[in-house]
């Protein structure tokens, strides 16, 4: 009852729950000039199938599902989601507004597994053309007006081994340049654009140097990434700072001139996952260089990284063991302290190095900074804007009650679950949504293993072994980028051009 009336009282002021973040020095800052740490979760219910172009469906197209998940993610304690595959032509107003009211920012990949949906590792020169670039611009159009749009990823793990590092870098930097130019010309604010890298150590630091250096040494170089992120799975089980190599990452990135963060983390080689890296990620040493990270991932899919399990038949959700553990790890930290570090004055970040092939260590990695020109026809789209233009805007949301059943790991139903709308310029933190759930000590079932009552989880475990070995990054990317059939379709399509 009390909850109900609070909701109604707040609903009049909803349209602007979070304020846009900005990049200052090598960090994100909030409107009070505090350094913002990303506490995120990868959000792609259904995996790559969650983007269903034929039915106008993507992860942010259904308000009732977003209401359900925003409430659950609020309860978990996160302030950011990362969404991989979006359809610029469907309406996202309700979902964006719900996440906004919940104090949750969105990091959005501009690519998709569809034909002309992304730059391909094996033939970047053929996949860089007007239809593709137009798609990246269209995603910017669709999301630019939401205050909780935090950043765009121009690419995810497109460079994933030495072979792809021979051809991809100039094309990837060119795509980043085009999107940045589009943002500069068509957006009211400078929404950051950058690259999400595979944590393949042979190419990681070269990728970082290649994308974040400045041609002519000027930091406003339009082809220089505004942010850099990596998908990192090096902390498995109860690891530590040295064993996981986090010390190497802090050392290697400490001169960064742009915000850097984990665009995925959460190794699943040891299950259930203890998530002890959370304390390290938001500890002083790591957060003096990094801006937090995104846990992979919200829903249980074939590769076995889920925090919750969605039942597709009735859209009910069951919280899994890892959800409770991660929630506890987040709750342990002193967020007032973590999120309360004041930004230093503008200009105190390390200067970006001048782009030069001597920044690149590997002999294979393409250190050519002369970028390909924009493909034919793109200059017109860049100057006039995408046509027809996808439009998005925050709307008032007054209904926050979750309509689907959400269950604890033990099967008991969580009652009265609702998104708790936050006050203006607040972002979500552990404790804001205090719906009662099962105590985590009493959760026994390991997530995703055959002890789960769902019959389809058995079949998944084989895949997950393959995925999590080398690095979960590669596994997850495979699941989220191109299914083999789409690749085939693309090859045929490209051949016709």
Ligand X SMILES: *[C@@H]1O[C@H](CO)[C@@H](O)[C@H](O)[C@H]1NC(C)=O
Site string for ligand X, 78-107 (x = CB under 6 A): ----------xx------------------
Identify the DSSP state of 351. Answer: P
Q: Supply the minimum distance, in Å, between the C-beta of residue 426 and ligand X.
A: 33
Give one DSSP letter per residue of 106-121, joined into a string: EEEE---SSTTSS--S
Q: Is 287 a residue that touches ligand X (CB under 6 A)?
A: no
Q: Is 372 a residue that touches ligand X (CB under 6 A)?
A: yes
Select from 85, 207, 464, 476 the one that contacts ligand X (CB under 6 A): 464
Q: Is 428 a residue that touches ligand X (CB under 6 A)?
A: no
- Using an 8 Å Cβ cutoff, are 161 and 197 in contact? no
Q: Is 255 a residue that touches ligand X (CB under 6 A)?
A: yes
Distance of CA 131 to the CA centre of its chain: 24
Q: Supply the minimum distance, in Å, between the C-beta of residue 397 and ligand X.
A: 25
- Using an 8 Å Cβ cutoff, are 342 and 333 in contact? no
- Give the whole-angstrom CA distance, residue 156 versus residue 453: 34
Q: Which is nearer to ligand X, 32 or 288 (CB)?
A: 288
How many helices (H) and strands (E) would you count in the chain? 16, 14
What are phi and psi for residue 52, nearest 5 degrees?
Answer: -115, 90
- Using an 8 Å Cβ cutoff, are 158 and 121 in contact? yes
Query: Does 363 participate in catalysis according to the annotation?
Result: no
Q: Supply the minimum distance, in Å, between the C-beta of residue 388 and ligand X.
A: 5
Segment contacting ligand X (CB under 6 A): 34-42, 131-139, 256-264, 331-339?
A: 131-139
Which residue, among 155, 157, 161, 151, has the nearest Cα to 135 in the 3D structure?
155
Of 209, 264, 277, 302, which one is the catalytic site residue? 264
Q: Which is nearer to ligand X, 68 or 92 (CB)?
A: 92
User: In this structure, is the dihedral angle defined by the CA atoms of residues 396, 314, 325 and 470, taken in order, positive or negative?
Assistant: negative
Bridge-based pairing of strands 149-156 and 105-109 is parallel
Q: Supply the minimum distance, in Å, between the C-beta of residue 9 and ligand X.
A: 39
Select from 222, 237, 245, 252 the one that contacts ligand X (CB under 6 A): 252
Segment contacting ligand X (CB under 6 A): 9-17, 330-338, 383-391, 422-430?
A: 383-391
Which residue, among 82, 89, 92, 95, has the nearest Cα to 53 in the 3D structure?
89
Which residue, among 269, 271, 317, has the nearest Cα to 447 in the 3D structure?
271
Select from 250, 354, 449, 494 the one that contacts ligand X (CB under 6 A): 449
Q: Is 124 a residue that touches ligand X (CB under 6 A)?
A: no
Q: Is 212 a residue that touches ligand X (CB under 6 A)?
A: no
Q: Is 376 a residue that touches ligand X (CB under 6 A)?
A: no
Q: Supply the minimum distance, in Å, between the C-beta of residue 376 and ligand X.
A: 11
Query: Does 297 participate in catalysis according to the annotation?
Result: no
Segment contacting ligand X (CB under 6 A): 3-11, 19-27, 97-105, 128-136?
A: 128-136
What is the four-CA torsion angle of 115, 130, 110, 480, rounded to 10 degrees?
20
Binding footprint of ligand X on the chain (CB under 6 A): 88-89, 130-131, 134, 138, 170, 252, 255, 271, 304, 368, 370, 372, 386, 388, 390, 449-450, 461, 464
Active-site positions read 157, 264
């Amino acid at each position: 009852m009390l909850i109900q009336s609070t909701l109604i009282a707040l609903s009049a002021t909803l349209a602007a729950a979070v304020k846009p973040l900005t990049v200052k020095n090598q960090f994100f800052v909030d409107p009070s000039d505090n350094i913002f740490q990303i506490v995120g979760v990868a959000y792609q219910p259904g995996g790559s199938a969650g983007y269903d172009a034929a039915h106008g469906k993507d992860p942010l197209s259904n308000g009732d599902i977003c209401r359900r998940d925003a409430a659950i993610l609020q309860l978990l304690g996160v302030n950011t989601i990362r969404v991989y595959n979006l359809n610029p032509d469907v309406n996202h107003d309700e979902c964006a507004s719900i996440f906004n009211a919940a104090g949750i920012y969105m990091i959005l990949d501009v690519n998709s597994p569809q034909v002309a949906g992304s730059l391909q590792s094996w033939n970047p020169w053929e996949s860089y053309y007007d239809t593709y670039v137009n798609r990246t611009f269209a995603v910017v159009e669709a999301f630019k007006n939401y205050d909780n749009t935090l950043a765009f990823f121009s690419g995810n793990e497109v460079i994933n081994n030495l072979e792809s590092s021979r051809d991809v870098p100039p094309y990837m930097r060119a795509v980043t340049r085009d999107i940045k130019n589009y943002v500069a010309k068509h957006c009211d604010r400078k929404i950051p654009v950058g690259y999400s890298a595979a944590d393949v150590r042979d190419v990681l630091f070269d990728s970082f140097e290649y994308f974040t250096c400045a041609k002519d040494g000027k930091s406003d170089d339009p082809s220089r990434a505004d942010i850099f992120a990596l998908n990192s799975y090096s902390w498995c089980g109860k690891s530590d700072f040295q064993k996981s190599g986090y010390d190497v990452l802090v050392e290697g990135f400490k001169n960064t001139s742009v915000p850097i963060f984990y665009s995925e983390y959460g190794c699943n080689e040891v299950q259930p996952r203890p998530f002890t890296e959370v304390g390290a990620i938001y500890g002083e040493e790591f957060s003096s260089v990094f801006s937090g990270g995104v846990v992979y991932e919200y829903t249980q899919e074939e590769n076995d990284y889920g925090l919750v399990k969605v039942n597709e038949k009735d859209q009910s959700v069951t919280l899994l063991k890892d959800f409770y553990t991660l929630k506890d790890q987040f709750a342990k930290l002193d967020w007032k302290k973590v999120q309360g570090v004041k930004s230093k004055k503008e200009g105190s970040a390390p200067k970006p190095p001048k782009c030069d092939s001597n920044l690149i260590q590997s002999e294979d990695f393409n250190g050519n900074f002369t970028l390909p020109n924009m493909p034919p026809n793109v200059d017109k789209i860049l100057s006039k804007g995408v046509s027809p233009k996808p439009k998005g805007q925050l709307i008032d949301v007054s209904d926050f009650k979750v309509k689907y059943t959400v269950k604890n790991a033990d099967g008991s139903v969580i009652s009265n679950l609702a998104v708790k709308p936050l006050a203006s310029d607040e972002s979500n933190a552990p404790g804001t949504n205090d719906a009662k759930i099962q105590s985590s000590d009493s959760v026994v079932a390991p997530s995703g293993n055959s002890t789960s009552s769902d019959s389809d989880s058995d079949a998944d475990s084989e895949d997950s072994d393959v995925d999590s070995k080398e690095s979960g990054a590669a596994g997850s990317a495979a699941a989220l980028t191109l299914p083999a059939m789409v690749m085939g379709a693309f090859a045929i399509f490209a051949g016709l051009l």
